[in-house]
Structure 1
Amino acid sequence: MLVAAVLALVDGCTGASSDAAGDSGTASPSSSAPAAPPAQLALSIADGSTDVSPAQPPEVDVTDGELDDVTVTDGSGAPVAGALAPVDADTVAWNPAEDLAYGTAYTVTATAASAGDQVTTETSAFTTVTPRLQDKPDIGPLDGTTVGVGMPVRVFFDEPVTDKAAVERHLTVTSSTPTDGVWSWVGASEVHFRPSTYWPADTDVTVTADLFGVDLGDGVWGKVDRTVSFHVGEAHVSVADAAAHTLTVRSGGEVLQTFPMSAGSEANPTHNGAHARGAGEVRRHHHGLLDLRPGRRPPGGYRTPVEFATPISNYGEFVHGAPWSVRQQGSSKVSHGCINLSDERARWSYDFSQPGDVVEVVGSVGGTLGPAGGDFYDWAVPWDQWTAGSALS
């Protein structure tokens, strides 16, 4: 009887469950969640690519998963050191610890795992470009120097640059006092940067040329990246008035000296316009020989010892001591284009000056400083013409 009661109780319980199930319909068979899709990998450099810039870091785009690892090996299979850096929410870049080499085979391998731990691997083999030539840019002013407010930034190349826009996109200038500076090409292999007016005094400037791996055109590629920092010192701006025969020296707008001088004669006039001390192809010298090279001499060019000379253009124009013309200084123009001072005054000027100080020549019967004057005719170019010289204008 006890057994029967227990069975009845069990049947009753079972019946209640069946009825309850019946009230809500037939129970659905158990079902599992859909399987996670495999991770998808996309490499920025397609397999088999050639002529790849060594400055182009491989990028990996991941969907439906998380990136596990990215490795790069060279043609011998040796691993290349590098690190990953995020580009956006789905993309990372592999950046080498040292620049990749030109003309070298590499293989990039990326792995990622899906939510279900399914591993996906993608591989791409590529070869970097082999340049016809590699060009290393030179930059002026030199790193760590102090210059005047008239010193332009200059970047020189060994070869003519075909893709000037590509170069400009990889040149940056930052300054502690912001300026409106613009790059302008002054030749096929030379580009300069200057603001619309002279640099602000007491300004720190950094020039970055990220040109390694940049196609300069015609098979020429950038060889290295370079960074140069310099300081713009006090605002030394002098006015050489050829008509009044005076050299007025200012610092920060304050007149420090007004010297009698002799400018270029009627036959060999000094060029008008803003010159910059330390310009040209000759460094300033305490004791030296003023030697105007064949092909660049003014009429009646000469070769003579001078004291305390600083070049202001490649026309052969200097500020220098000229004891032979002291009697004419302050009253007439007798030089071959230079600014003649007494040795004592030239020494003061020499000691005071810094490369890039401005000498504005006015009142001369000569033309205006121009491209034939060499590196530092920049300030004689009207601003609209200067900006038009940019390949990005």
Structure 2
Amino acid sequence: MTDSKRRRDLMVASALLGSVLALTGCSGGGNAKASDGGDSSQARTDEAAAQKSSQAQITITPKDGSDNASINNSAAVRVAKGTLTDVSMTTADGKAVAGALSADRTSWKPSAQLQRSTTYKLSAEAEDSDGRVAHENASFTTVSPANSFIGNFTPDNGSTVGVGMPVSLNFDKAITNKTAVQKGITVTSSSGQEVVGHWFNANRIDFRPETYWKENSTVTLRLALDGVQGADGVYGVQQKTVTFHIGRNQISYVDAQTKQMKVTQDGQVVKTIPISAGSPENKTYQGVMVMSEKFKQTRMNGATVGFTDDDGKGEYDIKDVPHAIRLTSSGTFLHGNYWGAKSIFGNVNTSHGCVGLPDAKGAGDPGTPAAWVYEHSLLGDVVVIQHTGDKTVSPDNGLNGWNMDWAQWKAGSAV
């Protein structure tokens, strides 16, 4: 091989080696870049995982924007797959509403009943097991008075009443969906007596057993009317339980012919009192009546019940009638009388329809017959008035549904 050929071969080999080295170098550089790119992708994946939404799922009821919401059961916060770390509830003007978390911190509710026609805002925060935070907010408005109904009930919670006291509810709106409303009202007695409701009109329903309540029993009224539709666009808001006690069995019998009243307790006569009932021109209603109100003193003006003279003034206006016990809504009372002659009691019926008992002026004398009756009577005690010559009192005139037989009473039930 000539020197020139050898030099050419060396030059080619050198060039080839350089090419191989260059290719190797490029390959090495490519691998480095691929490695760098893989590390960057992993970093981005880790960052995305760190920023992933919390698994805690917060639910606020009612839904955001709701109106006509319940004042009892609407507001609530719950969380799944996490625990609540903070809940804030305020009125629209920023007033805080107290509430309580459950022991496991998965739910929250207000501590007291909400107000009607009020806008509330709820804000909740929760964490999942990895400490990731979730947030939720909602605003709602509770039912307005115009779109809700309330039943005013008798007797009061915790009271002790007589055996004739019905459970009476008077609603502030006319009820057209009577079945749904009555199903939301339950009245039971520890005596086991069957209790049935009777609608007198669209606003009033009374409950009673077939015969008087068993003495010394306990009666429970449960109202589950929250959210119950009583009429078109009108919903109930009450959710409560009321209990009252039935006392001894006291029934008084007024006889307008003999002009005597006999007070019985547990079937035994404990007091006989001379009375003066309604005059022949103004007879007293007959029938079973229940004591519904008691006044140590009250004013009685004839003009309020239609007894007026030619000048339009009341035929009587007595400002301090003592020991007055209401028997009807229309104005029949059992009351003390200090202005009449003592001789009328037991002898002459002279009143405008009430039943008068001997009494002293001022209602401070505990020794008078009227004072005795007043002190020994409970709301719900029964007064049976007989032989007056007048009609029987209407069952809805006061708490006097006992003047309706059981079949008639049950026929007035919507359930």
TM-score class, shorter: 0.5 to 0.7
Specify the structure having the higher radius of gyration (Cα).
Answer: 2
SS in structure 1 opposite 2:323? Answer: strand
- 1:389 equivalenced with 2:412 (yes/no): yes
State percent identity of aligned pairs.
33
Residue of 222, 236, 261 corresponding to 1:208: 222
CA RMSD of aligned residues (A): 4.4
- Structure 1 unmatched ranges of 5 or more: 1-44, 58-66, 75-80, 85-93, 107-124
Residue of 327, 330, 344 corresponding to 1:312: 327
SS in structure 1 opposite 2:375? Answer: helix
Residue of 258, 261, 284 corresponding to 2:295: 284
Look up the match of 2:129: none
SS in structure 1 opposite 2:408? Answer: helix
- The amino acid of 1:389's aligned partner reads G
SS in structure 1 opposite 2:298? Answer: strand
- The amino acid of 1:363's aligned partner reads H
Evaluate the alpha carbon distance shift between residue 103 and residue 210 of structure 1 in structure 2; reply closer, same or farther with a 3 A threshold: farther
Give the Cα separation in 2 of the matches to 1:361 and 1:275. 8
> Number of residues paired by the alignment?
335
Evaluate the alpha carbon distance shift between residue 310 and residue 129 of structure 1 in structure 2; reply closer, same or farther with a 3 A threshold: closer
Evaluate the alpha carbon distance shift between residue 149 and residue 297 of structure 1 in structure 2; reply closer, same or farther with a 3 A threshold: farther
Give the Cα separation in 1 of the matches to 2:225 and 2:154. 16
Q: How does 1:341-352 map to 2 (within 5 A)?
A: 341-343=357-359, 344-352=368-376
Give the Cα separation in 1 of the matches to 2:302 and 2:329. 9
- 1:170 equivalenced with 2:184 (yes/no): yes
Evaluate the alpha carbon distance shift between residue 206 and residue 298 of structure 1 in structure 2; reply closer, same or farther with a 3 A threshold: farther
CA contact (8 A) 2:256 2:387 kept: yes
Give the Cα separation in 2 of the matches to 1:298 and 1:243. 27
Look up the match of 2:206: 192
CA contact (8 A) 1:141 1:154 kept: yes
Shift of 1:186: 1.6
SS in structure 1 opposite 2:383? Answer: strand
Shift of 1:232: 0.8
CA contact (8 A) 1:242 1:362 kept: yes
Give the Cα separation in 1 of the matches to 2:189 and 2:247. 13
Q: How does 1:1-393 map to 2 (within 5 A)?
A: 54=70, 133=146, 134-279=148-293, 283-285=294-296, 287-292=297-302, 294-295=304-305, 297=307, 302-304=316-318, 305-323=320-338, 324-343=340-359, 344-371=368-395, 373=397, 375-391=398-414, 393=415
- The amino acid of 1:288's aligned partner reads T
Give the Cα separation in 2 of the matches to 1:336 and 1:97. 53
Look up the match of 1:62: none
Shift of 1:266: 1.5
Q: Which has the higher helix share?
A: 2
Give the Cα separation in 2 of the matches to 1:172 and 1:347. 37
CA contact (8 A) 1:271 1:337 kept: yes
Shift of 1:260: 1.7
- Structure 2 unmatched ranges of 5 or more: 1-60, 75-80, 90-98, 103-107, 123-137, 360-367
TM-score by length of 2: 0.64
Evaluate the alpha carbon distance shift between residue 96 and residue 316 of structure 1 in structure 2; reply closer, same or farther with a 3 A threshold: closer
